[in-house]
Amino acid sequence: MKKRQPQNFKVKVTMKTIAEEAGVTLPTVSRILNKKGGKYAEATKEKIFEIADRLKYRPNALVHGMQSGRTNTAGVMIPVIGQFYAQIIEGIHNTFVDKGIIMLLGWGENINAPKDDTKERKIIHQLVDRRVDGVILRPSCEAFELSYFEEIWERNIPLILIDREMTNITTDFVGTDDEAGGIAAAEHLIGLGHQRILFAGSSEQVSTSRQREAGFRKVIGEYPNASRESLDIDKPDHVERLMHYLKQDNGPTAIFAYSDPSAEHIADILIKAGISIPGDISIVGFGDQPSGTCPIALTTFDQHPQIIGKTAAEIYLELITEETRSDIRRERITPDIILRASTTPPQ
């Protein structure tokens, strides 16, 4: 087995190193390298730059951060799992690179472990201790500890929420216009001729599921014959309840599921039960998160996660720049329907 690359015991090169080699004092090096106070002899400048270059000097951002209070560092608490979040992170990243901001990425437990808050708080401390200039975070659950936010606000660190809005606090927020999505889903299905449409949502979910349902019902409500029922897909008995609805005399001809995973889950159940999609029942999902095992190409919604991330990053830049607090911004990106094979007119 080979060894790793050359182990050169180079001394670390600091401004002091350069100053000594150049025969000047340290502040001189500092001012020249930072181009402050232009009154230096060309010869001196050149020498300093040459040495810095030759010794591959790199400034110590830790020191700079400590002194200036600015680290050009953003805390990002968003899980990478799932295309949706990954693309949000990409959107954030893209607007940060050019600004010289780099992100500290970390997130807490998965959605289903809301009680184990230790990990989440640990990460927040990591970010605070490293003096991030601001934080962008997706609340991991509806009951996301308020005390977490306090840890951040107390230190006057700008905080931007992503995806899931929290009603009990006032912070800048960027997410999906879920209501508009619900409306569009309803309009799509009704436009195809469906009226008896089952909504499949989640009680365990946060605002997003509820708001999609709200938009959906806004449209559906205008049709007297429309279905009033909804299915909680996260309840243990959801399979029985689903089959119950389907066996009714005037059972649904279409289903709007609040997420792609649940849409796919339902599709699996239907197909196992010998119900064809979209022949017997049309299905609309939400979020465009393909899984590779979905039995049919799903009509769904693109939430434009990249734009969500980009918007959040832009707000971030404003917040860390401004001296006085401005008004809160709450941006909702309109989702766009993606027509695929899982929806047709009722037959």
**Cβ–Cβ under 8 Å, residues 266 and 234:** no
If one asks whether residue 35 binds its own copies (CB under 8 A), the answer comes out as: no
| Interaction of residue 143 with its own copies, rule CB under 8 A | no
Please state the separation of Cα 326 from the chain's center in Å: 23
Residue 218 partner contact from its own copies, DNA, none using kind-dependent CB cut-offs of 5 to 8 Å: none
Question: Cα–Cα–Cα angle for 203, 208, 209, nearest 5°?
Answer: 40
How many other CB atoms are found less than 10 A from the CB of residue 43? 8
Contact between 212 and 179 under an 8 Å Cβ cutoff? The reply is yes
Residue 175 interacts with its own copies (CB under 8 A)? no
Q: Is residue 303 at the binding interface for its own copies, with CB under 8 A as the rule?
A: no
The neighbour count for residue 98, using CB atoms within 10 Å, is: 7
Q: Name which of residues 197 to 236 contact its own copies (CB under 8 A).
A: none
Give, in order, the Cα–Cα distances in Å from 98 to each of 40, 77, 92, 93, 136: 30, 21, 11, 9, 18
Cβ burial, residue 249 (10 Å; 0-12/13-18/19+):
exposed
Does 27 contact its own copies by CB under 8 A?
no
Identity of the residue, 2 or 39, whose beta carbon is nearer to its own copies in the bound complex: 2
Q: Which does 291 bind (CB under 5 to 8 A by kind): DNA, its own copies, none?
A: its own copies
56 binds, among DNA, its own copies, none (CB under 5 to 8 A by kind): its own copies
**Shortest spacing between CB 131 and DNA, in angstroms:** 9
Would you say how long the chain is, in residues?
347
Nearer to DNA, 102 or 226 (CB): 102
CA 174, 177, 179, 181 torsion-angle sign: negative
| Nearer to DNA (CB atom), residue 121 or residue 131 | 131
Which residues from 304-333 bind its own copies, rule CB under 8 A? 325-328
| Binds 90: which of its own copies, DNA, none (CB < 5-8 Å by kind) | its own copies
State the nearest-atom distance from the C-beta of 53 to DNA, in Å: 14
Which of 149, 199, 256, 316 is in the footprint of its own copies by CB under 8 A?
149
Q: Smallest gap, in angstroms, from Cβ of residue 103 to DNA?
A: 23
127 makes contact with its own copies (CB under 8 A): yes
Select 210 or 340, whichever has its Cβ closest to its own copies. Answer: 340
Report the interface residues with DNA, using CB under 7 A.
12, 14-16, 23-28, 30-31, 33-34, 36-37, 39-41, 44, 59-60, 63-64, 66-68
Residue 34 interacts with, from DNA, its own copies, none (CB under 5-8 Å by kind):
DNA
Say if residues 182 and 218 touch (Cβ distance below 8 Å).
yes
**Could you say which DSSP state residue 226 is in?**
S
Of 295, 332, 339, 306, which is closest to residue 208 (Cα–Cα)? 332
